[in-house]
Every structure is written in C-alpha cells, then in structure tokens.
C-alpha cells in the first residue's frame, strides 16, 4: 500500500523521483531486512542526501512504532464487534487490491523485454511452487541480467 502512495505522490504528482528510481528503491529494499524502512531511507537519500535519509527513516519508523503499540488493544476490541470486524475485513481486502494494482504497475515498468519477462515468470513460479527465498531469486535474476547485458 505504501508503494501506491510513493508512486502517486513522489513520481506522478511531485516528480521528485522517476519511475526507475522508485523501482531501484524497491529493489534495494527487497534485498535487505526491513524493506519498507530501507526503501524510505533510499528515497530520502535520493531526494535530500544524508539529512533526507535520516528524516525519511525517522518519519517512516515513528508512526508505525506508535500504531503497533496502540493497535494491540484496539484490534482486539474491534474484532469483538461483527460490524466493525466486517469493516476491518473490507480494509484488508482493499489493501490487497491496492497492493495488486501497484505490483501490476511496477511490473509493467520493470518488464521491458523478453529476458525480463522470462525472469519474472521463472521467479514467480519458483516463489509460488517451491517457496524459494526472495534473496536467492533476486541474486539469480541479477546474475542472469548481468550475463545477458554483459
């Protein structure tokens, strides 16, 4: 869901990042622990250097830290109400749809030729069929891309 906001605001509306830079930020985030935090730090660095990276890291971490602390009590109460639990289920479904839409957009931008299409198909099949760790998939795709372009 965060990626949809990043795409809409930083790329489409404000033009602070290119779509390629956003894809790079997501890729960097995916190969490290805490991908959302790493992506935010990377984007902060692109936009504002080291101070931007620090501010982005604090800005992405602080609200989540506070909400997790509060949500333990609130979610348990919400789940007791049939109506509120149904509303929460709707939010979850909406979030999944938003993530799917963002994945589609980023996939359209990243899959630019037959080799990248093959990487996407094979990577998806390995991930879904054999639950291959995404770090190995990224490493293998990088090696394949390097050999292909080399």
Q: 103 and 118 in one domain?
A: no
Q: 99 and 77 in one domain?
A: yes
Q: 148 and 82 in one domain?
A: no
Residue 117: its pLDDT value, please?
94
Q: 88 and 67 in one domain?
A: yes
Q: 122 and 62 in one domain?
A: no
* pLDDT band of 1, cuts 50, 70, 90: low
The pTM assigned to this predicted structure is 0.56
Q: 117 and 67 in one domain?
A: no
Name the residue among 106, 96, 109, 110 with its Cα closest to residue 1: 96
Per DSSP, the three-state class of 111 is coil
Q: 63 and 117 in one domain?
A: no
Residue 2: its pLDDT value, please?
67
Q: 130 and 70 in one domain?
A: no
Number of folded domains that form the chain: 2
Q: Is the alpha carbon torsion for 5, 24, 34, 66 positive or negative?
A: negative
Domain with 128, as residue range(s), is 113-150
What is the Cα–Cα distance from 72 to 5, expressed in whole angstroms? 25
Q: 83 and 130 in one domain?
A: no
State pLDDT tens for residues 55-100. Answer: 999 998 899 888 888 888 888 888 899 999 999 999 999 999 988 9
| Across 8-14, average pLDDT | 92
Token pair recorded at residue 110: 């990243």
Q: 150 and 93 in one domain?
A: no
Q: 49 and 84 in one domain?
A: yes
């Amino acid at each position: 869901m965060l990626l949809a906001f990043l795409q809409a605001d930083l790329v489409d509306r404000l033009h602070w990042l290119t779509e390629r830079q956003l894809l790079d930020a997501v890729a960097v985030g995916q190969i490290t622990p805490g991908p959302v935090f790493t992506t935010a730090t990377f984007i902060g660095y692109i936009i504002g250097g080291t101070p931007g990276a620090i501010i982005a890291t604090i800005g992405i971490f602080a609200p989540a830290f506070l909400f997790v602390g509060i949500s333990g009590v609130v979610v348990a109460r919400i789940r007791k109400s049939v109506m509120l639990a149904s509303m929460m289920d709707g939010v979850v479904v909406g979030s999944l749809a938003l993530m799917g839409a963002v994945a589609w957009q980023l996939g359209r931008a990243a899959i630019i030729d037959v080799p990248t299409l093959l990487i996407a198909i094979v990577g998806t099949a390995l991930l879904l069929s054999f639950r291959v760790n995404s770090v190995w998939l990224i490493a293998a795709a990088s090696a394949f891309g390097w050999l292909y372009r080399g």
